[in-house]
Amino acid sequence: MLLNPLTLHSPKTVSEAAKLYKELEDVKVLAGGTFLLNSLKLLKTKGTKTSKNILSLAQVDELKGMRADAHGLTIKAMTSITEIFESPLLVDNFQIIRTVCRNISTTPIRNMASFGGNLTCRYTWTEMPVVMIALNATMYFMSPQGAVSQISAEDFFKNNARSEHLFTHVVIPRETQARLVYRRVRKMSEVDQPLLTLCVKTTLPEKQWTKTRIVINTGSAFAQRDYQLEEFLNGKDLSSTLGQEALDHLTTTIYDTRSNEYKQHMFRVCLRQAIEGICTSN
């Protein structure tokens, strides 16, 4: 017996799921299961009690899939990472999501893992947060009463990824002129958990950095923006030295708190390369 006894609840609609999420005591949500099942097994081996109620979203078809229109892309919570990776809807600024998906874990995990899980699981090191914040995504939730609420991804993570309601989908505004770079640096000795992830986004009307977002994830805190660096970059012309200059305008506490020397070094290398990349390829 690898898991503690549990009761599986399998609602068929979002509203049913949202209701159960509030009503059930001692409940965990089962989306892709790639985090939850490992966690349940590990806690059992340590003798820790685990949640009695498991709320599975596997049969909630309303939570599966993606759709796009002229204004934006919708990704629903139960879409698997592989489905997102293979989606023909990832054009314009959404292309960066394919890069992110490619670098998440391994193939069978990608086949099982859900978008919602990677975004809202509250492990600080997952990959989707930085890119959702960079893309200015809006996250949607459903209350037990069926009311829909929304919050920007940025604010969601400022609030330490806490929510009482069931996450249902994101809507990402389409920006045909946006330029994005995503970097994920692996820890040498580990397969899954990255050393750091970051995403740089800007638009370049008249070849000047505008509406820049620099989103950083150190793995030890939730994804956040470096406003100081963004301010420095906004209004700057494209130049091959901009990346190097930018390094003098970092909010160093973001990068250097609880980071070893190598991590601090890699942040600077990745940022510089990302900024240079955007400058030189446009």
Partner 1 sequence: MKTKMTQEYVDPVGKSVPRIDGRGIVTGQTKYAFDVSFPNMLVGKMLRSPHAHAKIISIDTSKAEALPGVKAVITARDTHLIKFGSNEYFFPHTVDQMALEVDKVRYIGDEIGAVAAVDEETANEALKLIDVQYEILPAVFDIEEAIKPTAPMIHDSLNNLAVILPVNFGNPERVMKEADYVREDKFWCPVAHPAPLEPHVCVGQWETFANKITLWSSSQAPFKCREALAKTLKMDLNDVRVIKMAVGGGFGGKLEMLPMDFAACLLSKKSGGLPVKICYTREEEFIASRRKHGMIYKIKTGVKKDGTILAITGEVLADGGAYCSYGPTVLAASMMRIFMVYKIQHFRMSGYRIYTNNPISGAMRGFGGVQSGFAVESHMDMIANDLGMDPIEFRLKNITTPNMVTVNKMLLTTNGLRECIEKAKDASGWDKKRGQQKNICRGIGIGIAADVMGSKMYKSHESAGAIVKVEEDGSVYLFTGAADTGQGSNTALSQIAAQELGVSYSRIKCKSGDTEITPFDTGSFASRVTFISGNAALLGGRDAKLQILEIVAKEHNLNIADLDIKAEKVIFRKDGKVLMSFDKALELCYSFNYGKQIIGRGSYNPKTTPIDFRTGEGNVSGSYGFEAQIAEVEVNKETGEVKVLDIWDAHDIGKAINPQSVESQIEGSLAMGLGYTFYEDMKFKNGRVLNANFANYRVARSIGLPKMHTILIETNDPEGPFGAKGMGEASLLPTSAAIANAVEDAIGVRIKDLPITPDKIIKALKEKQAQTTAKA
Partner 2 sequence: MHIQLTINKKLYDLQLKGHETLLEVLRDQLSLTGTKSACQESECGTCTVIINGKAVLSCISLAANLDGAEIRTIEGLADGDVLHPVQKAFVEQGSVQCGFCIPGMIMSATALLEKNPTPTQTEVEYALDGNICRCAGYPKIFDAVHAAGKEMKEQQG
User: Which of partner 1, partner 2, none does 6 bind, CB closer than 5 to 8 A by kind?
Assistant: partner 2
Beta bridge partners of 67: 74
Least distance to partner 2, CB of residue 42, Å: 8
The Cα–Cα gap between 180 and 21 comes to: 36
Considering only residues 57 to 76 of the shown chain, the ones binding partner 2 according to CB under 8 A are: 58
Residue 54 binding target from partner 1, partner 2, none, CB below 5 to 8 Å by type: partner 2
Helix, strand, coil shares of the chain, percent, nearest 5, are: 40, 25, 35
Task: Give the contacts of 93 (CB within 8 A, at least 6 positions apart).
Answer: 135, 172, 174, 175, 176, 178, 180, 201
- Residue 14 CB, nearest distance to partner 2 (Å)? 18
Query: Distance of alpha carbon 41 from its chain centroid, rounded?
Result: 25
* Alpha helices for the chain (secondary structure H): 14-23, 36-45, 81-86, 95-102, 107-112, 115-120, 128-134, 153-158, 227-233, 242-246, 252-256, 261-280
Q: Is 279 in the site for partner 2 (CB under 8 A)?
A: no
Tell me if residue 242 falls in helix, strand or coil. Answer: helix
Contact pattern from residue 16 through residue 45 relative to partner 1, giving x for each residue in contact according to CB under 8 A and a dash for the rest: -----------------------------x
Residues of this chain, 87-116, that bind partner 2 according to CB under 8 A: 102, 105-109, 111-112
Tell me how far apart the alpha carbons of residues 229 and 215 are, in angstroms, rounded to a whole number.
Answer: 10
Closest CB to partner 1 among residues 227, 262: 262
Query: Which position among 20, 30, 104, 233 is part of the footprint of partner 2 (CB under 8 A)?
Result: 30
56 binds, among partner 2, partner 1, none (CB under 5 to 8 A by kind): partner 2
Kindly state the smallest distance separating residue 1's Cβ from partner 1, in Å: 5
Contacts of 201 (CB under 8 A, 6+ apart): 93, 134, 135, 178, 179, 180, 212, 213, 215
Q: What is the footprint of partner 1 within residues 141-200 (CB under 8 A)?
A: 185, 188-193
Site stretch for partner 1 (CB under 8 A), options 71-79, 117-125, 243-251, 265-273? 265-273
CB distance 101 to 126 below 8 Å: no
Rounded to the nearest 5°, which phi and psi values hold at 242? -60, -40
Query: Rounded to the nearest whole angstrom, what is the least distance from the CB of residue 191 to partner 1 in the complex?
Result: 6
The interface with partner 2 within residues 159-198 (CB under 8 A) comprises: 191
Closest distance to partner 2 from the beta carbon of 12 (Å): 12
CA pair distance 218, 196, nearest whole angstrom: 5
Whichever of 3 and 91 has its CB closer to partner 2, that residue is 3
Q: Please report, as ranges, the residues that interact with partner 2 according to CB under 8 A.
A: 1-8, 10, 30, 33-34, 37-38, 41-42, 54, 56, 58, 82, 102, 105-109, 111-112, 191
